[in-house]
Amino acid sequence: PQSKAWWLDQLFQYQGFWIPSFGIRGSMLINDHFKPRSTDIIVATFPKCGTTWLRALVFSIINRNSFDFSDHPLRKANPQELVLFFEGYLHKYGSTSFVDGLPSPRLLSTHLPYSLFPTRMTDDTSACRFVYICRDPKDVFVSKWHFANKLRPKELPPLSLEEAFDLFCKGISEYGPFWDHGLGYWEASVESRKKVLFLKYEDVKKEPLGCVRKLAGFLGVPFTPEEENNETVAEIVKLCSFESLSNQNVNKSQTSSGERPVGNSDFFRKGEVGDWVNHLSPKMVEKLNQITEQKLNSRYWIQL
Ligand code: A3P
């Protein structure tokens, strides 16, 4: 039966995480059939950490010589259409045939935890690359709560902030626990800097130019002196900014595609750092900070 937290009906505990059924199917198909290529780039995120932004940045960095900034695909399509949802497409087609047929370099986006990928993707440094973006869990929670209530069927009562908070703290949210998700990618990025690039939403906001240069370097396509001179880096930052993307007509649309009632506009709300101050009580802040500290301490070696 449907509960107030309706999306939970589709979540299952799977290898230490709460994964939607289509994600489990996608993960199984990846493990059994996916053939990685050295040119594959996987944009990996916990939901609401900046997936849309990172998809746009990676797409525009990789394709910067193919398009004019004034007539760019990001002005006509939502980043979701340009960097495809890996497990979503596998589930939709019931096989890897669709992604097998994509030309290189394949840009794919996933919410799956790092530990769910097969070793032929994670251990082989030449197999593929992952870029991950993490965000302050307080902002992630607030963003998620707004998003979930927007998608909620109208006949169901809204999920209160308190109820949602309790679930999030227990790790019960899509692809949660949030902390284990981020730590998995963090540890992988420490183990192999060539394999996983770990970015933070707050850093990209503060120093977008530096982060975009870092991203391009990691992806094997650093900016040339000519590109630095003709402001290509600044153009990419501007095109992918919240102000620019959220104001493209294509992203103002409520139209949804696929099975979930998600419109393009649903991926843009405020795009700020620290909006949690407007939503969370001091007690909630203390609790989230405490969990974060505990989780980090339990895997203390990564801070060395
Ligand atoms: P808020 O709800 O805090 O505004 P995701 O893309 O992972 O679903 O995350 C959505 C969050 O990223 C939302 O956060 C959204 O507003 C923000 N966002 C979307 N595009 C962005 C961009 N270009 N720059 C910064 N933040 C962006």
Could you give all domains of the chain from N- to C-terminal order, each with its CATH number? 6-303 (3.40.50.300)
72 is catalytic: no
Query: What pLDDT does residue 261 have?
Result: 63
What is the 52 CA–ligand 1 centroid distance (Å)? 6
Q: Distance between CA 208 and CA 223 in Å, rounded?
A: 14
Check pocket membership of 245 for ligand 1, CB cut-off 6 A.
yes
Length of the chain: 304
Using CA atoms, how far residue 254 sits from 248, 257, 263, in Å, is 13, 10, 4
Residues with pLDDT less than 50, the chain: 1-7, 258-259, 303-304
Q: Which of 150, 242, 262 to mutate to test the pocket of ligand 1 (most atoms within 8 A of CB)?
A: 242
Check pocket membership of 138 for ligand 1, CB cut-off 6 A.
no
Query: What pLDDT does residue 4 have?
Result: 47
Output the six-digit token pair for 5.
Answer: 């937290």
Q: Distance between CA 253 and CA 178 in Å, rounded?
A: 29
Check pocket membership of 269 for ligand 1, CB cut-off 6 A.
yes
**Ordered alpha helix ranges (H), 132-266:** 137-151, 161-169, 178-191, 201-206, 208-218, 225-229, 232-240, 242-246
What is the 270 CA–ligand 1 centroid distance (Å)? 7
Query: What pLDDT does residue 165 have?
Result: 97
Q: Distance between CA 139 and CA 130 in Å, rounded?
A: 23
Query: What pLDDT does residue 10 have?
Result: 81
What is the 58 CA–ligand 1 centroid distance (Å)? 15
Check pocket membership of 139 for ligand 1, CB cut-off 6 A.
yes
